[in-house]
C-alpha cells in the first residue's frame, strides 16, 4: 500500500483555498491513501471563527468537495464536525478527521484528548470524542488519531485491543526548540506500549505567532524514519 504524507501549509479561515490545495494534491499524487494535517480544511487554530454557523457549514461543504475529488483512492482530512445536541439545543463542535474513500466519507474520528495549555485552547471550542476509531482499508485496520490523542496512551491502547495494523496521527503541532525530539520520544512510547507502526503527519507554516514545523515521520519496527523535512511543504510517498 502506497501512502502519501501530505505536509502542507494551510491558512486559517481560507476554507476555499485549503480545499483547493488538497484537491490539487489528490489530483497529482499517485498513492492509494493520502494523509493531510489536523483541521486542514479550516486551518489551525480557527478559534472564534467557530462561532459563525456559516463558517462551519462552508467547512462541511468543503469536505464534500474533497470527497467528490477523491475517486479511486482514499484520503484523511481534518475538519470541524458539527452535531446538534437535540431540537433547539446548543450545537456541539468536534475536532475531527474524515476518512474518505472513493468519493464518500467512510468514517469520522473525533479527537478525544483536547489540549488546554500553552498556545492551546481546545476545550473552549470543542467537545471531546469518546472512542477510538478503526477503519478497514486495503486489507488493513487503520487506527485514526489526532495530535494529542497520540501524546497520551489511552487511544493507542484501544487501537491495539481493536487489532489495528497501523496508526495514522494527523497533527498541527507548534514548533519549539525541543519539539521534534519530543515527538520522536512520544512515538517510541506508543510503540513500546502497543507495537503498532505509527505514521505522524504534521503541518507547516505560521499563524498568529505560532510556527508549525512539519517533520512528518513514520515509526516502524521500533525505528523512526523521518519522511518529510522540517519547515517545508512536502508530499512524500512511502510503501507499506
Quick one: cell of 98? 474524515
Q: Is 80 exposed, middle or buried (0-12, 13-18, 19+ CB in 10 A)?
A: buried
In 142-181, which positions are buried (b, 16+ CB within 10 angstroms) versus exposed (e)? bbbbbbbbbbebebbebbbeeebbbbbbbbbbbbeeebbe
Q: Is 79 exposed, middle or buried (0-12, 13-18, 19+ CB in 10 A)?
A: buried
User: Rounded CA gap, 44 and 203, in Å?
Assistant: 9
Of 118, 176, 120, the closest CA to residue 147 belongs to 120
Cα-trace Rg, the chain: 16
> Catalytic amino acids?
38, 111, 147
Amino acid at each position: 500500500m502506497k501512502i502519501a504524507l501530505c505536509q502542507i501549509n494551510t491558512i486559517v479561515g481560507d476554507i476555499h483555498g485549503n480545499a483547493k490545495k488538497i484537491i490539487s494534491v489528490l489530483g497529482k499524487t499517485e498513492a492509494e491513501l493520502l494523509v493531510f494535517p489536523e483541521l486542514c480544511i479550516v486551518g489551525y487554530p480557527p478559534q472564534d471563527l467557530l462561532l459563525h454557523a456559516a463558517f462551519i457549514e462552508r467547512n462541511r461543504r468543503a469536505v464534500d468537495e474533497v470527497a467528490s475529488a477523491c475517486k479511486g483512492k482514499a484520503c484523511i482530512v481534518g475538519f470541524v464536525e458539527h452535531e446538534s445536541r437535540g431540537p433547539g439545543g446548543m450545537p456541539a463542535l468536534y475536532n475531527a478527521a474524515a476518512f474518505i474513500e472513493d468519493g464518500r466519507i467512510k468514517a469520522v474520528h473525533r479527537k478525544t484528548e483536547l489540549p488546554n495549555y500553552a498556545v492551546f485552547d481546545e476545550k473552549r471550542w470543542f467537545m471531546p470524542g469518546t472512542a477510538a476509531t478503526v477503519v478497514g482499508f486495503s486489507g488493513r485496520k487503520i487506527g485514526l488519531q489526532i495530535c494529542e490523542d497520540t501524546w497520551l496512551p489511552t487511544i493507542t491502547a484501544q487501537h491495539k485491543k481493536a487489532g489495528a495494523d497501523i496508526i495514522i496521527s494527523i497533527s498541527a503541532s507548534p514548533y519549539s526548540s525541543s519539539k521534534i525530539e519530543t515527538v520522536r520520544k512520544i512515538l517510541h512510547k506508543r510503540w513500546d506500549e502497543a507495537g503498532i507502526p505509527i505514521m505522524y503527519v504534521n503541518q507547516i507554516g505560521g499563524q498568529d505567532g505560532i510556527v508549525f514545523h512539519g517533520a512528518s515521520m513514520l515509526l516502524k519496527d521500533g525505528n523512526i524514519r523521518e519522511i518529510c523535512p522540517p519547515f517545508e511543504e512536502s508530499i512524500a510517498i512511502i510503501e507499506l
